[in-house]
A and B are shown apart, each in its own frame.
Chain A
Amino acid sequence: MTTRTIEVNALARVEGEGALYVRTEGDRVAEVKLRIYEPPRFFEGFLVGRDFREVPDITARICGICPVAYQMGASQAMEQICGVSLDGTLEDLRRLIYCGEWLESHGLHVFMLHLPDFLGYPDGITMARDYPELVRNGLRIKKIGNALMRLVGGREVHPVNLKLGGFYRAPTPAEVAALREDLAWGLEATAEALEFLAGLEFPDFEMDYEFVSLVHPDEYPILHGRIGSSSGLDAPVEDYDRIFTESHVIHSNALHSHLSDSGRPAVMGPMARFALNRERLTPRAAALADKAGLGAVCRNPFKSILVRMVEIAFAFEEALRLVDVYRAPTRPAVDMTPRAGTGYGATEAPRGICYHRYTLDDDGIIQDAKIVAPTSVNQPSIEADLHGFVQANLDLPDDQLRHRCEQAIRNYDPCISCATHFLDLTMDRG
């Protein structure tokens, strides 16, 4: 029996450090491993013993791409414990900066990390020589995301203007209005780029996913919602730990997650949000999704690039709406007094649900912390995709198959550094 191995020892165009190992025996895939060897980062451990007000600044450091997701989830959990809620204007500002994060993250991934796979280039720089306008527009889309982050968050990366209960300083209406022109440009540029992307060739490959995302009755989910799934799950965020079971696999420094009831892996992120919330997309984004040929649900992971692009259009459209209704809040933040308790927070990071749970004592000192990044939840699905794709394409020569496998991983825009959360490390050395 012939044994083939496909190995990529250091994955490129993903955030963080990971490797891929596939072994086939004869005409069957015997083993697939997405090896995440980036060391664990122990953020949950650092947080224990710290003051509750420190969480937005500490958790922001988990990721340079999606810091807002961590800041928001952590803040929501603390606000829940302290019994505080934010008024509409402050919630809108949070949604606005979150749109900036989606634009930054999706913009970079679509144009610089994912698109080269489809157009046959080793990287975005080489691709830029032949597609300068596309890359230039992609960079500008990302830059508009940066501008949103800078205005509301104080700076582009690891924002410093976010605090529990709101912000240190709220932008003036004039500052917010100044974003309008760029946002309007971005929406048009996105529509144009999506038309191009819809014409790409996609491998004929679909999976029967269990999609999980936040679901909100009135809006495409970013900051709020219940946990929903394609098999009808509908539960409050507080049930997260019951819904998912985390387990350690030896080849990854990021805990794997499975749905506790079915034992199935889940898919989070753009495809899941789209599948469960399509009818709540903003009008233009919904029309663009139609035009791009995306049906009610997209089960081809290679087409996630189209869904991401639709979400970029949504983020521009939503940011435009928020900019237009903005008025300065009466105060930039709500005061918080600590009390003992356990609180939960979950928001839609660019890659899916980012879940937080904290327990405080009477003085607001953190007793326990749990943070789950969507990439860690997506790991088993990435491996299932690889298994399915390799099985269906065993006739491809090694180099082509290897390339397609890398692309299958990049379909998820995995943020490996975020994913390496660890609660307990148990080493079994036989």
Chain B
Amino acid sequence: MPNFEESLRQFYLKLPEGVRPALKHGYHWSKLHGSSVVERKPIVHSHRIEFLDFEIAYLEEFGFLGPAPGQVLVDTHVSVVSPGTERGILVGLPGTARRFPFRPGYSAAGVVRAVGAGVTAFKPGDRVAGGIPHASRVNVESSTIVKTPDAVSDADAAFVVLAMIVMQGVRKAQIRPGERVAVIGQGLLGQIALRLARLLTPGRLVAVAATRARADVARASGADAFVALGETPHPIPGDEADVVIEIAGTPSSMSTAVRWATPGGRIVVVGSTRAVDRGIDWKDEVQRKRVTILGAHMSLVPGADTSAGRWTYQQECALFLDLLAQRRLQVNDLVTLQSNPRDCNRVYDRLVHHPSEQLGIAFQWQGFDAAAPRATSAPSVIVPKGDRMQPLRIGIVGAGAIGRHNAVSAKQSPLAQIAGVFDTNAKAARDVAKQVAAPVFDSYEALLADPGIEAVLLSVPHHLHREMTLQAAAARKHLMLEKPLANTLEDADAMVAACQASGMTTTVNFSFRYLAQFQAARAMVAAGALGDITGVQVTTHSYREYGYWLGARSHSVDDWRTDKTKAGAGFLFMNLCHVIDYIHFITGLKTDRLYAEYGTMGSPTEVEDTVSISCRFRNGAIGSFAGTTTKRGGNEAEDRIWGTHGSLSIAGDTISVYSTREIDGRRPGKMHRVKCATPVNWTKEWVTGFAQAVRTGSTPPVTLREGWDNLAFIETALRSMVDGRALSVPQFGAGD
């Protein structure tokens, strides 16, 4: 019959995953506070580093009761990271613990705060070092610590268990003076191995590593020679070692070790190779050479003195501290990064992805201020207001549905004044002019000729963009152009050239960027929440009724949307171009090449209403954009972006974001739902940003160049299906 704890665990596992963390927290909280009352012990508050999941480290607050019998409560001053072990757990190497949360750290120094019953070897105030985890304050078994000599600093003493791991391996090697010794692996433990081996006066001490990166530090550790396996994979005959210390902890390091062993030599396995190996030629490299391979994991070190030559955990630790006190050993130069525990998320992130960057990492717990703010992401995007500037006088050109929306939104901008309206449909123009309290112009030319008009906002059928832009440029009007930039890149090039020649400020209406969810997503990406982006998947499904294509929404007499010559493209130009824009805006990526399939599946038009695009971005990320305007049953859209450190998906005004990094104070390793419900008039913000750029002479938030890139993406998509192959997306100014 299962016991109570097991029953509780089974019940817990049947609960929905979403409610488990809160329930678990509540259970532990109740248990701790209940025990505090029953045992009449105060709760000790502390912080410790936890691995929440693969690649995620986080500083957790926790509480516990004072020391139990045989335990010592230690205030940690310095803890040293065990790079191989801790990284192995974070990335899930074979043979490592795969249950989370995991509490790392086993080598630290500090001072005794209290002792439990039966502890006589220590008293409050004693400086100690030993098997202490990465925690500001913690109970440890008294058998796992030793006193730190006065002559040894906490920073040095904190290496004690790391050094002990190496020392017990070096001891098993039984190095005799004059023997040739090779140390395979030049990480932190490799350096300690060199230094310990040096104490035994080898005739020759060789440091072996994959590359030359650690050659200097190895020589400082006492190596007579350095071998980079990339250059010298096999030892020069006669240069083999009597003793080989394997401490690289990689699957190939054992093969290297047996190559380096001389006939009759000993190999001590100190590194945790964490893989099954079939690379060793046992017959020739081990049997014929009479090589002995010795396992030397620290778990073999006894807790108590049992026989000659069986050094105990405490004896090995005490010896290391004694060697430090005698100055026969030095380790403080091995620390290349001293970190505040609050930054552990970023520190371990670097360890995971750049394992050779640091040699030794130490967390400084003494004086650690848990209440201080953690490192935050980049500042959020600030939408300029500029309300002390003179409003930009804008002429509205085009009074259909989009033109009306643009005019009404622009009027809300503190930096815009609607100075006139024109449309070939006079009634539509009058209606909009009335709505925005502006005069109606009889012709585009008349509007352009009016010196009171500083800028024009063109919301006209696509095929008119080129000619009307050239006219605006010639009239030296600032230009705000509804998307797409043009129907073809040829038209776009002519427009860009004319606008550049005019010297006026220009923009294209990719104003969806101003929606709060896209601004927030961009800030998350910029802050590193996703790491390097590796994938994008966009789906956007909607339904457009027949009237949409026929101009019913605009009360227009022109059904230009059904005409491929006029519209240029359908769903791509009318809808998906916005998504293409904001995905590039959020990610900061550029598209390298793509392939598309598209078709007209159910709409009264010559242009496409259904599209699927596969693409590769210039950073190597893979993306897909798929959508239609023929899907019945409600609009659906979701943008998914993921990278080396997290993922986010945007659906409506909500972002679901998961990151292994601690961004903006959000706990890593957890799915956060960020509601971006702040109402934003995206067109008004676009107009404001543009007007501010005009007034300050700066680059507008959305440039014509970005409009060109957007068009290049779409034109390439259209061509790729016709050509039946993937095509490279032209680059601006490359003359494609």
Q: A and B, one complex?
A: no
Chain B contact residues, CB within 8 Å of chain A: none
Chain A contact residues, CB within 8 Å of chain B: none
